[in-house]
Amino acid sequence: AQSVTQLDSQVPVFEEAPVELRCNYSSSVSVYLFWYVQYPNQGLQLLLKYLSGSTLVKGINGFEAEFNKSQTSFHLRKPSVHISDTAEYFCAVSEAAGNKLTFGGGTRVLVKP
């Protein structure tokens, strides 16, 4: 069985400051990793995904994430946040691309001016 832990339920951050959202997973098989963003009262949008290859993955809106197999982590980073980045961020894993997803508990990012 797979599980995903997002260590921070809320992350307040000032505008133009960097942010890191932590995600750790457990699985008995190789996994595919995803970060989704949910803006208030909206559906989920994919930020980035790791399927294979380079462990540093770049996504939309200036986000990037690094896959670390030895630490079973997939932390999300952005060097400079904007007010518009205020949202809920979900880390998710699946055993195969296109297969069902297991989500972490989510991290609520609040960007302050």
Partner 1 sequence: SAVISQKPSRDICQRGTSLTIQCQVDSQVTMMFWYRQQPGQSLTLIATANQGSEATYESGFVIDKFPISRPNLTFSTLTVSNMSPEDSSIYLCSVAATLYNEQFFGPGTRLTVL
What residues make contact with partner 1 under the rule CB under 8 A?
32, 34, 36, 42-46, 49, 51, 90, 97-106
Residue 106 CB, shortest distance to partner 1, in Å, is 5
Residue 80 CB, shortest distance to partner 1, in Å, is 26
For partner 1, the closer CB: 5 or 15: 5
Residue 107 CB, shortest distance to partner 1, in Å, is 10
In this structure, how many other beta carbons lie within 10 angstroms of the beta carbon of residue 78?
A: 21
Residue 88 CB, shortest distance to partner 1, in Å, is 9
For partner 1, the closer CB: 62 or 106: 106
For partner 1, the closer CB: 13 or 44: 44
For partner 1, the closer CB: 1 or 70: 1
* 3-state SS string for the chain: CCEEECCCCEEEEECCCCEEECCEEECCCCCEEEEEEECCCCCEEEEEEECCCCCEEECHHHCEEEEECCCCEEEEEECCCCHHHCEEEEEEEECCCCCCCEECCCEEEEEEC
